[in-house]
């Protein structure tokens, strides 16, 4: 019974790492997209000045 629990715990570690990487990359992509959209939305305003 304990060996099954230990095996499941070992399987969860890589899964948790992948989940953490996914959240991190989603946050990075979100920040890049925010800056890119801010710049592209304000290009017309900047060019008027």
In tens, the pLDDT along 20-48 reads 999 999 999 999 999 888 888 888 788 88
Q: What is the pLDDT of residue 47?
A: 83
Name the DSSP letter for residue 27.
Answer: H
- The pTM for the full model equals 0.61
CA 24 to chain centre: 3
pLDDT-based confidence at residue 4 (cuts at 50, 70, 90)? confident
- Which tokens sit at 7? 């095996």
- Which tokens sit at 22? 């996914």
């Amino acid at each position: 019974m304990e060996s099954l629990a230990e095996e499941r715990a070992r399987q969860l570690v890589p899964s948790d790492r992948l989940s953490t990487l996914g959240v991190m990359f989603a946050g990075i992509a979100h920040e890049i997209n925010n800056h890119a959209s801010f710049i592209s939305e304000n290009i017309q305003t900047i060019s008027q000045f």
